[in-house]
Chains A and B, each alone.
Chain A
Amino acid sequence: MTQAPAQPAADSIDKSLGNTIVKCVGLTKVFKDFWLRNRVKAVNEIDLDIYGGEVFGLLGPNGSGKSTTIKLILGLLHPTAGRIAVFGRHPRDVKNKQRIGYLPEESYLYPFLNAYETLEYYGKLFHQKRTIRKGRIDTLLEMVGLQHVARRPVGEYSKGMQRKVGLAQALINDPDLLILDEPTSGMDPIATADVKRVIKSLAERGKTILLCSHLLADVEDVTDRVAIMYGGKVRRYGQIDELLEEHDRTLISTPTMTPEVEERIIAMLEQQGICDTSVSRPRQKLETFFLNIVAEAQAAGIATSGAQSGGKIASFLSGEDDASQTEGEAVIDQLVRKGSAPASPQHPSDAEHAANETRHHSEQVIDSLTTSGQPASGSKTAQPEPEPQQQADTSLIDSLIQKKDGDNKTKG
């Protein structure tokens, strides 16, 4: 994930905070009863730093203090003890709000407004000019696939559709800090994939995202760092790759092998002193499988009611075209992108990107296998792409060793 510098307005940030967008020190929140007696310590002395340009995941079971932490960051609650700084300022400072987008755990929309009016209302609160506002509303509605029902009252929407409007309102100001509380709850897998793509796209542009979710797979797919909360305290906190990596295991992925080849490899590994080896067929993720099916149906032109997958990320969010972007902002944006390795002009698909990375790592793995005989550590994980089944003969292992070909993908 790109570690980009903070956005232009960061010049007003307290210099001592550096690239820290959100800083919590000893943050505590105690809820009281009617008689002002302490009842629940929802957040208990947590220290948290969220840096510019990262996707930060806040995980934990129900009642662990995630939403309370978010509300403290947003100034909707006052801390009982400790301090919070958002963009170097008090969390309730209205100047902060200009740069924040917030999607609460439920959509909390006005049921009597339609989607267009809802976005127009929130756009007005950001003092956006009419033309800019209108452009953004249209692209956001297209992005979340609600343009065809934009004039229907939000109260008539399904929960998933309301979440999409909620997401659109959180993005209307192209925020520097996006706070998403259970963003994919109630959404179908297509919309969930869209949300993840938006998150990744924003992160590539150097935006900071604080993500709070129960759906661990979603968090895992997009976050750089996570904090796991329980009982109001942060239990684990760090880079997701470091936290999740199994240091005592190695996974090699190849095209389908015959049983003979598998046996030869196991034997070879045993020769190298590597026991407790297993060989199995990798499974693609259900999400990938589902999305492929839907993509096929969409390609066949089968109609559906309700929300449609917008698919395309709003131009002002992807940075492709934004009428509101000033010349200076455009230059800074370009600079940010230059510093972001994965954000090439063509924006290769995630699958391609993952495939390239995997190729590189599989070369390293095979190198280690053939030279030192020791398993390589620190291999980067990636999602497997569905591959056509291939029949391998006994010469495959030889060719693998000789060519060190990196067509394969590893799965961590």
Chain B
Amino acid sequence: MRKSWKMWLIVLLALLGLSTGLTILLRLQGSWIAGNTVGRIGGILANAWIIYGLIVWRSVPWVRRFGLILIATAAMQILMLICWAFGSTDMVIALAGVYAMAMIFYAGLWLIRLLLSPSIGIFGVARTLIDEAIRMKIALVFIIGVALLIAIFPFAIDQEDFLKYRITSFLTWSLMATSGLLSLMTIFLAIATITREQKQKQIYITLTKPLHRGEYLLGKWLGITLLNLLLLSVACAGIYAFTKLLEAQPARDDADRLAVQSQVLVARKALEPIPPEPAALQSMYNDMLERLRDEDPERYGNPGDPSDVVLPMDRADIQQKVMLRWFTIPNRSSMVYRFTGLNDAKKYSQPLQLRFKPKLAGQSFEGFCFLGLRINGRPFYQPGITTDAGLLKLAENNFHVLDINPAVIDENGTMDVEISNPAIGNMQQPALSFNPKDGLEVLYRVGDFEANLIRSFGIIWLRLMFLAMLGLAAGSYLGFPVASLVCLLIYCTAAGNAYIAESLKYYAAFPSDALPLWAKIMWIIDKALSLISEGEYYDLFKMIIKLIGSGFLLVAPSFGELNAAPLVSDGRIVPTEMLIRAITWAGLVWTGLTGFIGWIIFRGKELARVTV
């Protein structure tokens, strides 16, 4: 028997097959007791045989691995039993989640190694990179970090808070932590692997084998990308498991429980009201500009001089004010906001939610505001918030979600929402307004939370693909510290692109976007010369900074439009357009372009060059 572990395996399978077969046969014949007895004896013998095999054949790699898994499973079960005995059911679930994450990691790693086993150079490089990441503990630190954070978050959130907000917070923080940590890991791993191989000269041997330099880079990228896929799968499983753990916790009340199901663990589509016609908007713009010019002709230009144009930043400001005005309802008046494209919601009877955040332009009534609401002509009523006068009494400057029956949607899939700002007895309620961006919207269910979570991880993965290639491209030419700084700068710019652009917009004067390029250049030169002649060197400095910043933003990618985490935590669907945009830009264009630049640099590089 000691001659071959294969014989051990055959005997084990035979034992299992025989005992199972006999058990089923006896049970089918009605001999339940005999069947169970045979089954138990077979189980004991099989277990004894497994233990015997694990001891005797522990030198065989797969037997050793199998044995380790069994030991880990047994240890985890014992630990869970202890926790259960002490009444800590949360800890039991948390341990189960951690165990599931570890098993997914182990199985995924095995699967990736199997996938990369064919004799292809790129696969060889990729597999070696994964071994490097795991064994040199670069990835391991991040894996443990992500696993611990995901496991700790549910317990770190205020247990007294609404369940809805606890789950939202958990999803927000865990997705952010996963994305952030893996982004940093990807950058450092990509740079470290390529710079270290050049410094420690392993690359001398690798690239004197029949492997193109492009294949080498591609192999490294493939390895990091697969490793990221594995880690994201683990994180996704962990987040899902702990979300379910949180969901099982007691809610504040039924409304809280319902909110979890209908507003968080769901994928909803959001619709904004149809804006006014462009002509109407232009008219509103002109009216507002005229008023502003009367008030401040220095800033907004002379009304009598048509060539005296409004500065771009002021124009954008006016446009925002126009939209805000459209979302503002003066006292004793009402506005109708139309929502279209709700055919699917009506067809599938998906409950609608009207989400809004009312703001008053002045003093509120002890933190509350009143408004009238009619949906397609029908007055809206909800116990608890509807007053005797048929008005809604709501906390001011807070988001409110009202459930609306989809039956009110008309045949064209349109819903008119009429909001009125009423008079409250003798009191004048100040003007009521909503934030033009997300202050008033209608949401309805279009998918499940699970699919949404996977989509969001898909987008994170595509972003990591780009970061991996960026790290490799930088590391192929620069040393570790410089490449790290460059990549972190680009990553931070990409992550905060929208904020930086917004800051730069108001930082210094700049030509209008509407101007052609040459006109912009001339404008900048003129402005710079005038600033020099006026001795306004600080403004000149600011303009130069803005010029450099704008140029950098133009080149650097933007992750702002590829951030799915807020959508998932808010129960909104990660739109297909975002996924396509991520595939196109992050997966193909940015990665491809960065990879191409990296390859161009790397293919001509003298690997054994020394600078003296």
**A112 near B123 (CB under 8 angstroms)?**
no
Q: Which of B117, B206, B612 contacts A39 (CB 8 A)?
A: B612
A71 to chain B, nearest CB (A): 4
A39 to B611, CA, bound (A): 9
A121 contact from B124, B136, B200, B612, Cβ within 8 A = B124
The B-contacting residues of A in range 58-82, CB under 8 angstroms, are: 71, 74-78
Please tell me which one of the listed residues A40, A113, A153, A169 contacts residue B612 in the complex, with CB atoms under 8 A apart: A40
Q: Which residues of chain B have C-beta atoms less than 8 A from A113's C-beta? A: 128, 131
Chain B's closest residue to A39 (CB) is B612
Chain A 87-129 interface 0/1 with B at a Cβ cutoff of 8 Å (1 = within): 0000000110110101010101110110001000111111111
**Could you say which of A29-37, A141-149, A214-222, A279-287 contacts chain B?**
A29-37
Contacts of B135 in A (CB 8 A): 112, 153
**Cβ contact within 8 Å between A34 and B119:** no
Query: Do A31 and B210 have beta carbons less than 8 Å apart?
Result: no
Choose from A34, A76, A112 the contact partner of B606 (Cβ within 8 Å): A76
**Interface contact B211-A121, CB-CB below 8 Å:** no
- Expressed in whole angstroms, the minimum distance between the Cβ of B32 and any Cβ of chain A is 49
CB of A164 closer than 8 Å to a CB of B:
no
A130, CB-defined interface residue at 8 Å: yes
Q: Which residue of A lies closest to B200 (CB)?
A: A108
Complex CA–CA separation, A126 to B206 (angstroms): 11
Q: Does A133 contact B (CB under 8 A)?
A: yes
A130-B205 contact in complex given A31-B609, A31-B610, A40-B612, C-beta closer than 8 Å: no
Measured CA separation A299–B351 after assembly (Å): 88
A101, chain B: closest CB distance, angstroms = 9
Residues of B within 8 A of A33 (CB): 611-612
CB nearest to A108 among chain B residues: B201
Partner of B611 from A32, A71, A100, A109 at Cβ < 8 Å:
A32
Question: Are A169's CB and B136's CB within 8 A?
Answer: no
Contact of B131 among A39, A117, A125 (CB under 8 A): A117
Chain A: which residue is nearest B612 at the CB level? A39
Q: Given the complex of chains A and B, what is the CA–CA distance between A112 and B612 in angstroms?
A: 31
Give A32 to B609 CA distance when docked, in angstroms: 9
User: What is the size category of the interface that chain A forms with chain B?
Assistant: 35 or more
| Distance, CA A102 to CA B208, complexed state (A) | 7
- A31 contacts B128, CB within 8 Å? no
Instruction: Determine which of B136, B207, B208 lies in contact with A112 in the assembled complex, contact meaning CB atoms within 8 Å.
Output: B136
- Asked whether B561 is an interface residue with its Cβ less than 8 Å from the other chain, the reply is no
In the complex the two chains form, what is the Cα distance from A184 to B119 in whole Å?
A: 31
8 Å CB contacts to A: which residues of B102-147?
117, 119-121, 123-125, 127-128, 131-132, 135-136
Q: Which of A109, A123, A173 is B119 in contact with, Cβ under 8 Å?
A: A123
Among the listed A77, A78, A125, A128, which residue makes an inter-chain contact with B206, where contact means beta carbons less than 8 Å apart? A125
Would you call B119 and A127 a contact (CB within 8 A)?
A: yes
Bound CA–CA A100/B204 (angstroms): 13
Bound together, the chains give a CA A258 to CA B119 distance in angstroms of 68
| B209, A106: Cβ atoms closer than 8 Å | no
From residue 26 to 56 of chain A, which have CB atoms closer than 8 A to chain B? 31-34, 39-40
Closest Cβ of chain B to A56, distance in Å, is 18
Rounded to whole Å, the gap between the CB of B205 and the closest CB of chain A is: 6
Residues of B558-612 at the interface with A, using a CB-CB cut-off of 8 Å, are 606-612
Q: How far is the CB of B114 from chain A (nearest CB, A)?
A: 12
* CB–CB A76/B121 < 8 A: no
Contacts of B206 in A (CB 8 A): 125
Once A31-B611, A108-B200 are accepted as A-B contacts, the answer to whether A97 and B131 lie under 8 Å apart by CB is no
The verdict on B202 contacting chain A, using a C-beta distance below 8 Å, is yes
Knowing A31-B610, A113-B128, the reply to whether A97 touches B119 (Cβ < 8 A) is: no
Does B252 reach chain A (CB closer than 8 Å)?
Answer: no
- Given contacts A76-B607, A78-B606, whether A108 and B209 have CB atoms under 8 Å apart is no
CB–CB A124/B611 < 8 A: no
Contact with B210, one of A39, A108, A126, A153 (Cβ below 8 angstroms):
A126
A366 to B128, CA, bound (A): 64
Report whether A125 and B611 are in contact in the complex, using a CB–CB cutoff of 8 Å. Answer: no
Assembled-state Cα–Cα distance A98/B612 (Å): 33
Q: CB of B299 within 8 A of chain A?
A: no
Ordered by A's residue number, 21 sampled pairs between the chains whose C-beta atoms are within 8 Å are A31-B611, A32-B611, A33-B611, A40-B612, A71-B204, A75-B208, A76-B204, A76-B608, A95-B210, A97-B208, A98-B210, A100-B208, A102-B204, A102-B208, A104-B205, A110-B128, A113-B128, A113-B131, A117-B131, A127-B119, A133-B119
Q: Which A positions have Cβ atoms within 8 angstroms of B? A: 31-34, 39-40, 71, 74-78, 94-95, 97-98, 100, 102, 104, 106, 108-110, 112-113, 117, 121-130, 133, 153, 166, 169, 173
The 7 closest A-B pairs by CB, nearest first: A124-B124, A125-B209, A112-B135, A76-B608, A39-B612, A97-B210, A108-B201
